Amino acid sequence: MEHPERLAVELGLELDRIAAALALLEGGATIPFIARYRKEQTDNLDETQLRAIAARHQYYRELDERRATVLNTIREQGKLTPELEARILAVTLKPELEDLYLPFKPKRTTRASKAREAGLEPLAHWLSDLTEPEADLAAEAAKYALADKGLETADAALKGACDILAEEWAEDADARKELRELAAKEGVFASAAKKEFEAVATKFEMYRDFHEPVGSIPSHRLLALIRGEREKVLKVELEIPKDKAVRALVYRFIRHPRSAAAGLLLETVVDAFDRLLAPATETEIRKQVRRKAETEAIAVFAENLRDLLLAPPAGRKAVLGVDPGFRTGCKIAAVDPTGKFLEYRPVFPFEPKNDLDGAKLALLAMVCDDKIELIAVGNGTAGREAERFVRMALEELPEAKRPPVVMASEAGASVYSASENAIREFPRLDITVRGAISIARRLQDPLSELVKIEPRSIGVGQYQHDVDQGDLKASLDAVVESCVAKVGVDANLASVELLKYVAGLNRAAAAAIVSHRHEHGPFRSREALKQVKGMGEKTFEQSVGFLRIPGAMNPLDNSAVHPERYELVESMARALNVTVRDLVGNKALLEAVDLKAFVGEAIGLPTVQDILKELEKPGRDPRAEFHCASFSEGAREIGHLEIGMVLEGVVSNVANFGAFVDIGVHQDGLVHVSELADRFVTEPRTVVKVGQVVKVKIIKLDADMKRIGLSMKQAKS
């Protein structure tokens, strides 16, 4: 079965759609471009489906490459039979391919290899093939008992022969597959505290005496076990039902249960299981379930990141960013409505300096001089105290002139501050100043600012350091690319870090756009982008639909309409005897367009509908309206909390088992999945998402362990 056919069956999609998607991908088209501008070819495949096709296609490509290597290696050994070749060619899973290759794989010295060198392979096969109940095993084995080969006795020869059989059976592809299936179906993960932690409380308390079936263990619990094992707090084992496993192996390998060798062979089966198959099965099952758990964890991280990047922007407003601190003071930076850095001042309202008056004067001067419309206070150490200080200082101003104060997430701000990107942007500014600027800018536009930070450092996932970092990076980069495509990018304002995530561009192309902009001034049209060094036809085609030119002579240049469809829009305008500019934003005119008149072989109804939808509100930001949470003034640290309190907070993270909520006390509380709503919730993200403002009720408190239990459903009552 060829890749497209296999993918069609596996993903439940029509073959022609799969084939069209693969042809576009192999032709250099990006997934966002295909999803938006090639709907006719793929019959409306969305980004999720396209990424699944690309990922599985890559898997099968890698499998084919490995298959070719395996076949060549076995062929060179002169051991490739037609039957074996057919099995290898039929394999569709990497582990099964490795099982078939295992007997032919170069190995280190083993008990079995030493026995083979001693010439015991014929004895091993004699034992396996023996049918007579009365055969003399010792007499046969004595023929191989040669002192010069380290075989002093018949028993030693029998033991060596059994070692050969144990290894052969342990390398049998069908047996390995059968045991993996048994372990996956009936195996149990068991954990216990290591001896040195038996009397010590740890963060892994629930795993001190823990058992859970392989088939039902949630991803977050498996990753917690792995972390506990890695930190040397827990010992974790996979318990496989030994009796069932041994019975299956006996049935498979002991063909003559009444032979004189049957008892010895039974011992060999047990040895093969205990010494070789059980450890190999545990390793493979751990890989499988860990891979599945990591995939789920990465998916949760990716969706949380998507919600964070698409969080409502405050928009083009002058913002004051406050990076709070006690001893080192609060760092305050002002940025104009475009994010341009204006000025910075350090203030010291807390101990040891206690310069409250000086801090108030500095803050108010910046608010007035820089015409500040919003104040963003970082939610790290001293965040609530800094927020309280800012609100107190603003009381000096008339109420109408007081800018709103918002607690902003500091996640990743310190990473950005010390990054090469920040140093390039602000080479003369201190690291703390860069952090304050980042806090201000992420309120203006979370997407534009957060793309400057390595996605893994933003901190909206569980166990992000425990999963495959390559897979995590690829997934998160895809999310950023998708979000950038959804929102669109102002080609005259975007940074290199934002532009590099535009579909079809890379860092070099992004840098070339910014360099051209600095040298020649702002772009006046999309067509002008072709003048950028290195902007070839393919790069232009793939990226231009996601780049915006506000104020361009052609209004379509500030829309998601691709230049290849400008002629179509002009045809629509001519049909109504109006200009394109008249058509843009005019709902009545757009409703008068005869859709069917513009549908043809190359342009289908989905594209025409997309264009009309975009023309109705061209360049409109698809993100929601900006709204911020109001933290309780009386709850600034965990000691201020009481069970029964109802507070407002911001969802900081969503996991499979619930959601973490920042309620302004430097320690996020957990809303368990059972407390999210007055109904059964299987997927927390159907109820909440990162950045959402929610009301919660405190239902559990453990100040010593810094744990806060919250409920959303009880907050409603």
**pLDDT value of residue 545:** 96
d(CA 309, CA 304): 9
Every domain of the chain with CATH number 1.10.150.310 lies at 507-616
Burial of 108 (0-12, 13-18, 19+ CB in 10 A): exposed
Question: How confident is the model over 82-109, as a mean pLDDT?
Answer: 93
**pLDDT value of residue 146:** 78
Every domain of the chain with CATH number 1.10.10.650 lies at 3-99
* pTM recorded for the entire structure: 0.83
d(CA 629, CA 208): 38
Q: Tens of pLDDT along 508-544?
A: 999 999 999 999 999 999 999 999 999 999 999 999 9
**pLDDT value of residue 150:** 74
**pLDDT value of residue 717:** 65
> Among 298-302, 462-466, 484-488, 656-660, whose mean pLDDT is lowest?
462-466
Contacting residues for 622 by C-beta, under 8 A, at least 6 apart:
310, 486, 487
d(CA 74, CA 506): 42
Query: Looking at the predicted structure, is the pLDDT value of residue 204 above 70?
Result: yes
Q: Which CATH architecture has domain 3-99?
A: Orthogonal Bundle (1.10)
Sign of CA dihedral 217, 219, 225, 226: positive
> Among 25-29, 345-349, 381-385, whose mean pLDDT is lowest?
381-385
Query: Looking at the predicted structure, is the pLDDT value of residue 460 above 80?
Result: no
**pLDDT value of residue 1:** 61
At position 711, the amino acid (one-letter code) is: S
Query: Looking at the predicted structure, is the pLDDT value of residue 666 above 70?
Result: yes
**pLDDT value of residue 236:** 96
Query: Looking at the predicted structure, is the pLDDT value of residue 17 above 70?
Result: yes
**pLDDT value of residue 638:** 84
CATH 3.40.50.620 applies to domain 507-616: no
Every domain of the chain with CATH number 2.40.50.140 lies at 638-716
Query: Kind of pairing, strands 188-193 and 209-213?
Result: antiparallel
Query: Can you name the CATH fold of 111-298?
Result: Tex N-terminal region-like (1.10.3500)
Every domain of the chain with CATH number 1.10.3500.10 lies at 111-298
> Among 26-35, 45-54, 131-140, 629-638, whose mean pLDDT is lowest?
629-638
CATH 2.40.50.140 applies to domain 638-716: yes
d(CA 655, CA 660): 8
Q: List phi, psi (to 5°) of 267.
A: -60, -35
Tell me if 530 sits within 8 A of 548, measured CB to CB: no
At position 488, the amino acid (one-letter code) is: G
Q: Tens of pLDDT along 582-598?
A: 999 999 999 999 998 99
**pLDDT value of residue 432:** 86
At position 63, the amino acid (one-letter code) is: L
Residue 308's pLDDT band, with cuts at 50, 70 and 90, is confident
Q: Tens of pLDDT along 541-567?
A: 999 999 999 999 999 999 999 999 999
**pLDDT value of residue 702:** 85
Residue linked to tokens 């046969």: 140
Query: Looking at the predicted structure, is the pLDDT value of residue 461 above 90?
Result: no
Q: Which CATH architecture has domain 319-444?
A: 2-Layer Sandwich (3.30)
**pLDDT value of residue 148:** 67
Tokens standing for residue 700: 């559990």
Q: Tens of pLDDT along 374-417?
A: 999 998 888 889 988 999 999 999 988 999 998 888 877 778 88
Q: Could you give the residue ranges of the DSSP H alpha helices within 345-468? A: 356-369, 383-394, 413-417, 420-425, 431-444, 446-450
Tokens standing for residue 92: 């569709």
